[in-house]
Amino acid sequence: MKRIILDYFKRWWLVLSAIFIAYFIFQAFSVRENNSQPSGGSVAIVRTVTNTVHNTFIFQAIMWLGFLLIWEMQRGVPRVLTSLPMTPKQIGRAWWLAAAAFPAITLGVLGVLAIQFFSNEKNIPFLMKNYLADWSAIALYLGAMFGAQTFGTPGMTGTLSGKTRTILSTLLIVIVLFGFIFNQLEAPTLAKLILFFFTSVILSVLGWFRAEQMVLQCASFRLVAQSSGKKSAQHKTPKGFGGLPYLIQRTIIQTTLISLAIIAWMTLVMLFFSVSNGQNHVQTITMTVNGGLTPCFFFVLLFSIVPMVFQLRALRTFPIPSSTLATTLVFLPILSIAAFGVIVITLAVSLAGQAVILQTINSFFVMGAKAAIMVVVIVWRGMNAVTYLLAFLLMVADSFISLGVTLVYHLGSNTPEHPWWIALTIFLLCVGMSLILTRRLLTQSSSAYRVRTMPANAWSMARR
Amino acid sequence: MTNAIEIRGLVKKYPGFQLGPLDLAVPRGAIYGLIGPNGAGKTTAIDLIFGMGRNDAGTIHVLGLDHRADEVALKRRAAYVSPDLNFTVWGKVGKAIRFVRGFYPGWDDAYCAELMKSFHLSDTDKIATLSFGAKTKLSLLLALSRRPEVLILDEPTTGLDAVSKQEVFGELLKAVEDGERTVLISSHGLSDIERFADHVGMIKNGKLLLEGRTDEVVDRFRMAEFFTENGTEFQNRDGLIVLKRNENRWHALLDQNSDAHNWLQTRGAKEINLTRLTLEDLFVALAKDEEAK
């Protein structure tokens, strides 16, 4: 078990260290801020900084911490580990400790240390009480996320019960994730808090006992898949266009449908919250669009780029000029994001008025720029731990730039909206740079074509 | 006979490995087996033909087309098959076929249907649930259906059972029976290569050790077993590679095109017995010698 845990940390040490260090610095900053007595405009600016750092980095980092195990499975680790002289129970429980318990304990210890070192021995009981509540939510989220993953199925099977199970298990992960997000977004009522607490505790405990099943399922995926019966050969001449136009059409339709499902789900949940908080539907939809666009755009980005990268070797053997391939790689996620943005604007404007338009356009330009950079990173690095770290940093980068702009030009005020022309300029620069670099990587480097993790070993695009 | 593939002075450097300088000529209409151990540079050489990475020196021509200047034209006429090609993201076999078919105006639908039948594949099969061998067959089907003039296969028999290997090679032989198509096949399944390839090239540590017609290459070398009486020592020399010694009994690889046989006799070797080698024996002997160097 010890070796499995160490192996996990060895592979993710860079990501984990970055999160732990950032978390400690943030806690230290929060403790000092809580114990100081600022005056005048500095109160607002300190709050802006604290909230921005928390919402765009710390909170999201912890959120993604719950997903590290899924990425382990995507890399086919269960299959490798089950061939070692260990039982699946030992492997599963080692993962429970490595992915849920130890990170939670480490974060807890770091928070307590921050209070001890930076509180100047003032208000320690108060700070501890507040911190315990925050930390409990994090620990329960990590435990619940692990527990939810143990119900996951490694692939969509053909039977109705198999499909139902896959959908329900995915829904459970989404519920845990959104439960954590909404618990952070607003102060929950006592009833909701109790519900969150008990659900998380039950899932965390179940995770410990079901860890073995999770390992077995993920490791035996290919064997299960191959057991399907042989059918007689059937072939009909394909109708319609093929090649790159077919790739583009298929990717845009798939990503748009997935994103619409996500945003519809978020809207429903937000409407559920707004009923209890007395908000009207316009406020709710505007809030959902504002808050939900970035994660949705990010999903679009992943679902459009990753399948391209997995088949890059095949694409390179087709008669496509390298410049066309680079252009497709760069513009496919951008077009997917644009298609989704247009639908969101159309729906949201009719429901909530024109207030959402500027936000959506700005989000599109910013995410488009990020998508362009991400293409370069993925073609350059493949799908490894450093890529995930860079993706995360890229995702939160604009929030820190906004924070810098706020600090320099609008001291004490809320973070301003980006003027659209700044976002457009950044977008154009990033796209131009990405086109040049991607083409160069495609023609000069051979590392882009080395075989990467097969996504078929876990919850993945293969399911679609 | 003109060459379908001509590689001259090809060099690609990586940290800790260098491919080449490599010269390789694949005659038009031939089945050329490129053999070598893992990490020899076979895949690197093939990747460079298709522009996956840039060579540091040398030239590659396929059907007279430069691999960089005429990249698209070359890829229209040459196809690549490998178990590494990933079509899983397309979900079903039929969708992958529709996608690939779109790149080739000369796609042969009737032949594609015929191949589907002989490879036991169906439009509705999920690619993710296909066995490893079936994925290779899909890759071959997608390549053959476009009727390429040059077919390049990288380790196509890896993971295939004996029956599947026969099916794959059967289709390959059918594809080249008109004498117009050329196949370059890289493999470490030496018995398959010996049976199907009419030309062979041996590569090790990025260098081509030997190249020629398969029958001529195999005929050229013999395993020499001989004895010595007075403690004479034999070292490797041109045309002779000492493989094993058991007191006075020696085993060596002998090149019949050299004067090694006469040299052995003049040095006092007794009862020289020459036996025919398989391609595998020959490859192992040459590879060991290269390793020793």
Q: Identify the CATH number of the domain in which residue B178 sits.
A: 3.40.50.300
Nearest-angstrom CA–CA distance, A15 and A68:
9
pLDDT(A229) > 60: no
Q: How large is the average pLDDT for residues A397-424?
A: 64
C-alpha closest to that of B185 among B203, B200, B171: B200
What pLDDT, on the 0 to 100 scale, is given for residue B224?
85
Unique residue bearing structure tokens 């490894």: A384
Does residue B49 share a domain with residue B159? Answer: yes
Residues B38 and B137 in one domain: yes
Say what the pLDDT of residue A463 is. 33
The pLDDT assigned to A243 comes to 87
From A263-277, A351-365, A449-463, the region with the lowest mean pLDDT: A449-463
What is the DSSP code (8-state) at residue B243?
E
Half-sphere exposure (Cβ direction) of B262: Cα atoms closer than 13 Å: 3
Is the pLDDT reported for residue A176 higher than 70?
yes
CB contact at 8 A, A430 and B62: no
pLDDT at B80: 92
- The region of weakest confidence among A41-45, A164-168, B16-20, B179-183 is A41-45
Q: Where are the beta strands (DSSP E) in chain B?
A: 3-14, 17-27, 31-35, 57-62, 65-66, 78-81, 150-154, 182-187, 199-204, 207-213, 221-227, 240-246, 249-255, 270-276
pLDDT of residue A225: 43
Distance CA B115, CA A186 (A): 60
Q: Which of A64-68, B18-22, B208-212 is predicted with the least confidence, judged by mean pLDDT?
A: A64-68
- Asked whether residue B214 is assigned to any structural domain, the reply reads no
Would you place residue B197 in the very low, low, confident or very high pLDDT band (cuts 50, 70, 90)? Answer: confident
- Burial environment of residue B280 by CB neighbours within 10 A (0 to 12, 13 to 18, 19 or more): middle
Asked, for residue B212, whether it belongs to a domain, the answer is no
Instruction: Give the closest-approach CA distance of A315 to chain B in angstroms.
Output: 9
- Taking the C-alpha atoms of residue A148 and residue A173, their distance in angstroms, rounded to an integer, is 5
Average pLDDT for A434-446? 88
Confidence of residue A462 (pLDDT cuts 50, 70, 90): very low
Amino acid (1-letter code) at residue B290: E
CB contact under 8 A, B75 and A319: yes
Q: Are residues B22 and B68 in the same domain?
A: yes
| CA B231, chain centre distance (Å) | 41
Q: Are B94 and B125 found together in one domain? A: yes
| Contacts with B, A 121-180, CB within 8 Å | 155
Mean pLDDT of chain A: 76
Residue B79's pLDDT is what?
92
| pLDDT (0 to 100) of residue A55 | 65
- Predicted local confidence at residue A345, as pLDDT: 76
Decide: helix, strand or coil at residue A140: helix
Whether the predicted pLDDT of B138 surpasses 60: yes
- Closest listed residue to residue B192, CA positions, set B217, B223, B158, B141: B158
* Residue B261 and residue B164 share a domain: no
pLDDT of the residue at A224: 41
In a domain, B140, yes or no: yes
* Helix (H/G/I), strand (E/B), else coil: B173: helix
End-to-end CA distance of chain A: 35
Residue A220 has a pLDDT of 64
Query: What local confidence, expressed as pLDDT, does residue A77 receive?
Result: 78
Rounded to whole angstroms, what are the CA distances from B252 to A318, B236, B247, B257, B261? 47, 9, 14, 15, 11
Measured in degrees and rounded to the nearest 5, phi and psi for residue A194 equal -65, -40
Question: In this structure, are B246 and B102 located in the same domain?
Answer: no
Tokens of residue A227, six digits: 């057991």
**What is the pLDDT at residue A104?**
92
Are B54 and A231 a contacting pair at CB < 8 A? Answer: no
| pLDDT band at residue B283 using 50, 70 and 90 as cut-offs | confident
Is the same domain home to B188 and B231?
Answer: no
From A365-374, A386-395, B181-190, the region with the lowest mean pLDDT: A386-395
Sign of the Cα torsion B123, B127, B129, B131 reads positive
How much of chain B is helix, strand and coil, in % rounded to 5? 35, 30, 30
For range B266-288, the mean pLDDT = 82
Of the listed ranges A38-52, B51-65, B247-261, the least confidently predicted one is A38-52
Interchain proximity B98–A319, CB inside 8 Å: no
Residue B127 is predicted with a pLDDT of: 87
Nearest CA-CA distance, residue B205 and chain A, Å: 18
Q: How confident is residue A85, by pLDDT bands cut at 50, 70 and 90?
A: confident
Separation between Cα atoms, residue A262 and residue A299, nearest integer Å: 9
Evaluate if residue A355 carries a pLDDT over 70: no
Residues on chain B touching A307 (C-beta within 8 angstroms): 89
3-state DSSP call for residue B78?
Answer: strand
Cβ–Cβ gap A449/B94 under 8 Å: no
Q: Are residues B266 and B195 in the same domain?
A: no
Q: List CB contacts (< 8 A) between A232 and chain B.
A: 122
Give residue B95's domain range.
3-205
Q: Mean pLDDT over residues A283-297, rounded?
A: 63
Which of A296-300, A312-316, B37-41, B77-81 has the lowest average pLDDT?
A296-300
Residues A289 and A263: their CA atoms lie apart, in Å, by 8
Confidence of residue A155 (pLDDT cuts 50, 70, 90): low
Q: Does B117 touch chain A (CB under 8 A)?
A: yes
Tokens representing A164? 């139902």
Could you give the count of Cα atoms lying within 13 Å of B203 in the half-sphere of its Cβ? 28
For A244-267, write each residue's pLDDT tens digit.
Answer: 899 989 888 888 887 777 777 766
CA distance to A168, A362, B152, per residue, from B49 (Å): 47, 43, 10
Q: What is the mean pLDDT of residues B212-229?
A: 86
What is the rounded CA–CA span in Å between residue A436 and residue A382? 18
pLDDT digits (tens, 9 = 90+) for B16-49: 888 879 999 999 888 999 988 888 888 889 988 9
Burial (Cβ within 10 Å: 0-12, 13-18, ≥19) of residue B178: exposed
Mean pLDDT of A202-229: 71
Q: Is the peptide bond before B21 cis (omega within 30 degrees of 0)?
A: yes
* Average pLDDT, integer, range A173-198: 74
> Which helix or strand (DSSP H or E) is residue B48 part of?
helix B42-49
**Do B10 and B125 share a domain, yes or no?**
yes
Chain B's closest residue to A314, CA to CA, is B85
Whether residue B86 contacts residue A453, with contact meaning beta carbons closer than 8 Å, is answered with: no
Same domain, B58 and B183: yes
Contacts of A235 in chain B (CB under 8 A): 94, 97, 112-113, 116-117, 122-123
- How many CB atoms within 10 Å of residue B276? 11
Domain termination site, one of B180, B205, B230? B205
What letter does residue A54 receive in the DSSP assignment?
I
Stronger pLDDT, B85 or A60, i.e. the higher one: B85
pLDDT at residue B87, rounded to an integer = 87
Calculate the average pLDDT of chain B.
86
Other CB atoms within 10 Å distance of the CB of residue A150: 24
Instruction: Give the mean model confidence (pLDDT) for residues A115-144.
Output: 84
At residue A71, does pLDDT exceed 90? no
In this prediction, residue A152 carries a pLDDT of 72
The answer to whether A246 faces chain B, any CB pair under 8 Å, is yes
Q: Rounded to an integer, what distance in angstroms lies between the CA atom of residue A262 and that of residue A181?
A: 14
pLDDT-derived band at A456, boundaries 50, 70, 90? very low
Structural domain contains residue B215: no
Q: Which of A222, A235, A316 to mutate to test the interface with B (most CBs of B within 10 A)?
A: A235
Position B286 in a domain: yes
Among A residues 306-325, those touching chain B with beta carbons less than 8 Å apart: 307, 310-311, 313-314, 316-322
Neighbours of A167 (CB within 10 A): 12
Asked whether B9 and B58 are in contact (CB, 8 A), the reply is yes
So what's the pLDDT on residue A277? 58
Q: Which residue of B has its CA nearest to A157?
A: B129
pLDDT at B219 over 60: yes
Q: How far apart are CA B293 and CA B290, in angstroms?
A: 5
Pairing relation of β-strands B150-154 and B249-255?
Answer: unpaired
Structure tokens at A11: 């592979």
Residues from chain B contacting residue A244 (CB–CB below 8 Å): 102
d(CA A105, CA B123): 51
Tokens of A395: 């995702």
Determine the Cα–Cα distance for residues B137 and B132; give it in Å rounded to an integer.
9
Domain count, chain B: 2
Supply A321's token pair: 């000029």
Q: Residue A293: what pLDDT?
A: 64
CB A158 within 8 A of CB B128: no
Return the higher-pLDDT residue of B267 and A206.
A206
* A365: Cβ contacts below 8 Å, ≥ 6 apart: A418, A420, A423, A424, A426, A427
Same domain, residue pair B78 and B180: yes
Assigned token pair, B170:
């059967």
pLDDT in tens, A383-405: 666 777 787 777 777 666 666 66
Residue B101 belongs to some domain of the structure: yes
CA angle at B132 for the pair B127 and B134, rounded to the nearest 5°: 60
Task: State which of B172, B205, B238 marks the end of a domain.
Answer: B205
Cβ(B172)–Cβ(B165) under 8 Å?
no
Interface test with B, best of A250, A317, A323, A453 (most B CBs within 10 A): A317
Q: Indicate if the pLDDT at residue A382 is higher than 60.
A: yes
> pLDDT value at position A294?
65
Separation of alpha carbons A338 and A296, rounded Å: 12
Residue in A closest to B110 by C-alpha:
A237
| Secondary element (H or E) of residue B183 | strand B182-187
* Sign of the C-alpha dihedral computed for residues B266, B270, B275 and B279 taken in this order: negative
**Cα dist from B275 to B37, B272, B289, whole Å:** 24, 10, 19
Distance from CA of A130 to the nearest CA of B (A): 47
pLDDT in the model for residue A459: 36
Examine the fold and report which residue of B205, B231, B262 is the final residue of a domain before the chain moves on: B205
CB interface of B with A, residues 258-287, below 8 Å: none
- The CATH number covering residue B235 comes to 3.30.70
Structure tokens at A189: 């009522």
Q: Which band of pLDDT confidence, cut at 50, 70 and 90, is reported for residue A464?
A: very low
The alpha carbon of residue A161 is apart from the nearest alpha carbon of chain B, in Å, by: 18
Residue B77 is assigned to a structural domain of this protein: yes
Task: Kindly state the percentage of chain A with pLDDT values over 90.
Answer: 8
Residue A452 Cα, gap to closest chain B Cα (Å): 9
What does the pLDDT average to over B79-95?
87
Q: Are B9 and B20 in contact (CB under 8 A)?
A: yes
When CB atoms are compared, the residue of A310, A316, A462 closest to B52 is A316
Give the residue-averaged pLDDT of B133-153. Answer: 90
Angle at CA of residue B133, ends B128 and B134, nearest 5°? 55
pTM as predicted: 0.73
A47 in the Ramachandran plot: left (φ > 0), alpha (ψ -120 to 50) or beta? alpha
Sort out which chain B residues have CB atoms less than 8 A from A456's CB and list them. Answer: 88, 128
Where residue B184 falls among pLDDT bands split at 50, 70, 90? very high
Contact B204, B36 (CB under 8 A): yes
Find all residues with CB under 8 Å of B284, minimum gap 6, and list them: none
Q: Which residues of B touch A462 (CB under 8 A)?
A: 88-89, 91, 127-128
Q: Would you tell me which residues 122-141 of chain B have a C-beta closer than 8 angstroms to some C-beta of chain A? A: 122-129, 131
- The predicted model gives B239-243 an average pLDDT of 82
Residue A382 contacts B, CB cutoff 8 Å: no
Residue A440 touches chain B, beta carbons under 8 Å: no
The SS3 call for residue A232 is: coil
What pLDDT band is residue A453 in, cutting at 50, 70 and 90? very low
Interface of B with A in 49-68 (CB under 8 A): 50-54
Look at A284 and A234; give whichever has higher pLDDT: A234
ipTM for the whole predicted complex goes beyond 0.85: no
Does the distance separating the beta carbons of A234 and B124 come in below 8 Å?
A: yes
In a domain, B210, yes or no: no
Residues 6+ apart with CB under 8 A from A50: A29, A30, A33
Judgement on whether residues B90 and B150 belong to the same structural domain of the protein: yes
The whole-number pLDDT of residue B59 equals 92
